[in-house]
Structure 1
Amino acid sequence: MSDIAIEFRGVVKRYGSATAVAGIDLSIAKGELVTFLGPSGCGKTTSLRLIAGLELPSEGQVFIAGRDVSRAPASERNVGMVFQSYALFPHMSVLENVAYGPAIRGTRRSEAHARALEILDQVGLAGLQDRLPAELSGGQQQRVAVARAIVQQPDVILFDEPLSNVDAKLRRKVREEIRALQRRFGLTAVYVTHDQEEALAVSDRIVVMDRGTIAQVGTPADLYERPETPFIADFIGDANLIEGEVLKGQFSAPGIHLDIGGQSGKATLSIRPERILLSRGGSDHVLSATYLGSRMEYVIAAQAGEILVSRSIAEPRFQVGESVSLVISSKDAFRVA
């Protein structure tokens, strides 16, 4: 039996003359949580809808659990979905919301309720089954939505911007709950978000999309620490993109010289702000210093241009106008062009 839960083979989706998804190939393993990430209009939500059966491909094939579902309607795909708005029935109790799916598929009411109560207990909502959605917190409503999707034992569960309606302070807790539930139930999950931090926090792998194509696929660490293009480096977190030239393995830009190896020629390096150290004295100087609670962010006027530096609040602080030197290690610089 194959370990692949979802597969895209040359999938294209067009809307008239506009191409939303431009020929993607991707495999997602059973039990994996994969996030589609990218700017507005990149094709991430369309890709999710192609899995759900809410859209059909213009070209190519979509497989779920080894079955070609390219032309199958949503009702025949055994896919659970958690919407942005949760889409809970406001007039139904928590129990009735969760039992609704099995009930409309012909499961006896008593059996559907028993299954729903079991799932509610597993997602930490035991004792709340008689409440209406309006009587729950945002995080609890999110768990009801997840329970309603899980109870039908889907091959795949889809999360469409699931934290967009959650208060900023609750997002960390709710995303941790989603990740814990996904692992506990061994769910194959596809998650769509535009929030880079959210994607880094919940994913086994991230698919970064750009203008309908896959720009890079990898683990959160791969994408953050080893971006392959300037787009990935700039989109995932903050990055300093420094242009220069490589000659005999030595990268040179004004005031920066690093041994990076590789082919000679023009090059662009990506260096994360937190990987740069500052020392007092030198030819560069501090343009701005911003206090952000757990860290300080500095913009440094350097010979190579303006450089963003992030340092722990526990480290010695620098003042605007102070002369400094940048300390960059070759191991923290990645060639992206």
Structure 2
Amino acid sequence: MTETAIEFRSVVKRYGDATAVAGIDLSIAKGELVTFLGPSGCGKTTSLRLIAGLELPSEGQVFIAGRDVSRDPASARNVGMVFQSYALFPHMSVLDNVAYGPVIRGTAKAQAQEKAREILDQVGLGGLHQRLPAELSGGQQQRVAVARAIVQQPDVILFDEPLSNVDAKLRRKVREEIRSLQRRFGLTAVYVTHDQEEALAVSDRIVVMDRGRIAQVGTPADLYERPSTPFIADFIGDANLIRGEVAQGYFTAPGLSLPVTGPDGPATLSIRPERITLAPGGPDRVVTATYLGSRMEYMVAAQVGEMLVSRPIFEPRLAAGQDVSLHITHTDVSRVA
């Protein structure tokens, strides 16, 4: 049976008349990396702060490692945190930064430094013990921040927008390092980001939030390939949303007829741009053709409406103004409403 590391039970957080978290229920398994994702103001950072003890719930309960910590302050929770700014002490060496937590909790300095050396070696910073944070790259500083959290053997480690201060070219490498460290140490991790690609890359599961509520929880593949609502389809990556009618198991819209499941009546389908194929000649027309290095992106004026289409760069390129026909099969779509 999978052990639960974190649990929200009907958690509500209000600030005066404003509700930041509107009654969420969620379980996170031990060793799992779960990302809270959503637009600004959706409640994702508040949820993280409720786990950390930086905020207390207005209603409901938060459990960590089976213990109700709903009213416990941050100092009474065994939680590590990696902040946006890393919050490293600029005047301390890498070694002393990592050893700082155990020292202030009463561990002898020599013992704390020995444990810090072990962790630094494991995160690939073994030769940099005596450097100051300013002498490290952004990626190295990130690893120091993770090491400082790991050294305290927390029940949970929290990442608050950890790549926001990393150069765009380094983000892929740093997020891979975070994921690798999380797996290597078997950490239970909660990660907050507004970046959909980042969430897809690092997560076991993603919690998409909207206006203080959980809109959908699932694996990256679940959310991308099987969105449950138009909001999820539109928020996770790019999506073409097509409105039409379902009757006797078929969805129909101008120029489109596909078998679908679900009740008859008004319906909305989500179609990812890369699932649409184009052929020269036909009733539709390319409005714009944009070269993006690894792919071509087309905006197509189709019978069913304006459609975004993404095709591999090795396919024959189409030009703006060219007549084309769109090809979509029932396996390429998700019913979202």
Considering the TM-score relative to the shorter chain, is it more than 0.5? yes
Q: Give the Cα separation in 1 of the matches to 2:85 and 2:174.
A: 15
* Counterpart check, 1:146 vs 2:149: no
Q: Give the Cα separation in 1 of the matches to 2:137 and 2:180.
A: 19
Which residue number in structure 1 is paired with residue 131 of structure 2?
A: 131
Checking the alignment, whether the CA contact within 8 Å between 1:295 and 1:310 is kept in structure 2 is: yes
Secondary structure of the corresponding residue to residue 307 of structure 1 = strand
Which residue number in structure 1 is paired with residue 316 of structure 2?
A: 316
* Counterpart check, 1:179 vs 2:179: yes
Which residue number in structure 1 is paired with residue 15 of structure 2?
A: 15
Which residue number in structure 1 is paired with residue 278 of structure 2?
A: 278
Which residue number in structure 2 is paired with residue 194 of structure 1?
A: 194
* Counterpart check, 1:156 vs 2:162: no
Q: Give the Cα separation in 1 of the matches to 2:187 and 2:332.
A: 35
The 5 A counterparts of 1:51-130 are 51-130=51-130
Checking the alignment, whether the CA contact within 8 Å between 1:283 and 1:323 is kept in structure 2 is: yes
Superposed displacement of residue 231, structure 1: 0.1
Which residue number in structure 1 is paired with residue 328 of structure 2?
A: 328
Aligned length: 337
- In structure 1, give the amino acid aligned to 2:226: R
Secondary structure of the corresponding residue to residue 199 of structure 1 = helix
Q: Give the Cα separation in 1 of the matches to 2:57 and 2:194.
A: 23
After TM superposition, the score normalised by the length of structure 2 is 0.99
Secondary structure of the corresponding residue to residue 48 of structure 2 = helix
Superposed displacement of residue 151, structure 1: 0.2
Q: Deviations over 1:50-80 (max 9, x none)?
A: 0000000000000000000000010111000
Q: Give the Cα separation in 1 of the matches to 2:45 and 2:261.
A: 39
Secondary structure of the corresponding residue to residue 14 of structure 2 = strand
Which residue number in structure 2 is paired with residue 254 of structure 1?
A: 254
Q: Give the Cα separation in 2 of the matches to 1:5 and 1:183.
A: 15
- In structure 2, give the amino acid aligned to 1:202: V
Q: Give the Cα separation in 2 of the matches to 1:243 and 1:260.
A: 13
Q: Give the Cα separation in 1 of the matches to 2:299 and 2:56.
A: 47
Secondary structure of the corresponding residue to residue 257 of structure 2 = strand
Checking the alignment, whether the CA contact within 8 Å between 1:300 and 1:308 is kept in structure 2 is: yes
Checking the alignment, whether the CA contact within 8 Å between 1:12 and 1:58 is kept in structure 2 is: yes
- In structure 2, give the amino acid aligned to 1:155: D
Superposed displacement of residue 2, structure 1: 6.7
Q: Give the Cα separation in 1 of the matches to 2:129 and 2:113.
A: 10
Q: Give the Cα separation in 2 of the matches to 1:90 and 1:202.
A: 29
Superposed displacement of residue 261, structure 1: 2.8
Checking the alignment, whether the CA contact within 8 Å between 1:248 and 1:261 is kept in structure 2 is: no
- In structure 1, give the amino acid aligned to 2:274: E
Q: Give the Cα separation in 1 of the matches to 2:143 and 2:37.
A: 22
- In structure 1, give the amino acid aligned to 2:32: E
* Counterpart check, 1:210 vs 2:224: no
CA RMSD of superposed structures (Å)? 0.7
Which residue number in structure 1 is paired with residue 169 of structure 2?
A: 169
More displaced, 84-93 or 253-262?
A: 253-262
Q: Give the Cα separation in 2 of the matches to 1:327 and 1:158.
A: 44
Structure 1 residue ranges, 4+ long, deviating more than 3 angstroms after superposition: none
Superposed displacement of residue 21, structure 1: 0.1
Superposed displacement of residue 260, structure 1: 1.3
Superposed displacement of residue 329, structure 1: 1.0
- In structure 2, give the amino acid aligned to 1:182: Q
Q: Give the Cα separation in 2 of the matches to 1:316 and 1:262.
A: 37
Superposed displacement of residue 233, structure 1: 0.1
Q: Deviations over 1:19-41 (max 9, x none)?
A: 00000000000000000000000
Secondary structure of the corresponding residue to residue 169 of structure 2 = helix
Which residue number in structure 2 is paired with residue 292 of structure 1?
A: 292
After TM superposition, the score normalised by the length of structure 1 is 0.99
Q: Give the Cα separation in 1 of the matches to 2:263 and 2:22.
A: 31
Cα–Cα, structure 1 residues 268 and 2, in superposed 2: closer, same or farther, change >3 Å?
A: closer
Q: Give the Cα separation in 2 of the matches to 1:19 and 1:130.
A: 46
Which residue number in structure 2 is paired with residue 235 of structure 1?
A: 235
Secondary structure of the corresponding residue to residue 127 of structure 1 = helix
Secondary structure of the corresponding residue to residue 130 of structure 1 = coil
Q: Give the Cα separation in 2 of the matches to 1:203 and 1:6.
A: 16
Q: Give the Cα separation in 1 of the matches to 2:106 and 2:69.
A: 23
Fraction of identical pairs, as percent: 82
Secondary structure of the corresponding residue to residue 334 of structure 1 = strand
- In structure 1, give the amino acid aligned to 2:149: A
Q: Give the Cα separation in 2 of the matches to 1:116 and 1:334.
A: 49
Which stretches in structure 1 are left out of the alignment for 5+ residues? none
- In structure 2, give the amino acid aligned to 1:17: D
Superposed displacement of residue 81, structure 1: 0.0
- In structure 2, give the amino acid aligned to 1:46: T
